[in-house]
Amino acid sequence: MSLTPPKMNNETRHICVCICTYKRPKLLLRLLVEIEKQETQGLFTYSVVVADNDGARSAEPIVSQFTEASSVPVVYCMQPEQNIGRTRNMAVENARGDFIVFIDDDEFPVNHWLLDLFKTCNAHEVDGVLGPVRRHFDEQPPNHQGKLL
């Protein structure tokens, strides 16, 4: 797998979005739906790897449901030992393409997220980029006023 910065030519690059998840099916589905809306401007293609860190395979039905209705290719894999490092490694082992990006199952991207990452790598001829994560809460979180729980 090449992690070389893309060169704008006739070769279409491919990005693999890696998602590690653990028992959050509603959030995973919301994330997959938002990833499906990614803008590419024809500059790249993309696919998804979902690495389920639950030995009971709780994410598998969500991935199957999404895959049946989506044009985005999705690979499902499961890492039974609860260990985020091993789960990330499993996602990478199942990833194919020129670039790998990670997003957590409790996040959701704006529609130009992948496009911005791709263009930034190309513009600056770098091997990787990071972007900010802006917090969003569906409900107001509790105010613990600095108390440790």
Average pLDDT of span 128-143: 76
Q: Which letter does DSSP use for residue 11 in this model?
A: P
Sheet holding 44-52, edge to edge: 74-78, 44-52, 13-21, 99-104
Q: In angstroms, what CA-CA distances link 34 with 28, 49, 63, 109?
A: 10, 15, 14, 6
Does residue 8 carry a pLDDT above 60? no
Is residue 59 one of the residues assigned to a domain? Answer: yes
Please write the tens of the pLDDT for every residue from 25-68: 999 999 999 999 999 999 999 999 999 999 999 999 999 999 99
Is residue 141 one of the residues assigned to a domain? Answer: no
Is residue 147 one of the residues assigned to a domain? Answer: no
Residue 141: its pLDDT value, please?
73
Q: What are phi and psi of 73, to 5 degrees?
A: -65, 135
Cβ atoms 38, 46 nearer than 8 A: yes
Helix or strand holding residue 68 (H, E): helix 60-69
Residue 145: its pLDDT value, please?
72
**CATH number of the domain to which 89 belongs:** 3.90.550.10
Domain that holds residue 49: 13-124
Cβ atoms 38, 51 nearer than 8 A: no
Q: How many domains does the chain have?
A: 1
Instruction: Output the CA angle 42-45-48, nearest 5 degrees.
Output: 145
Residue 57: its pLDDT value, please?
97
In the chain, % of residues over pLDDT 90 = 74
Q: How confident is the model at residue 125 (pLDDT cuts 50, 70, 90)?
A: confident
List of residues 6+ apart from 82 with CB closer than 8 A: 22, 53
Is residue 53 one of the residues assigned to a domain? Answer: yes
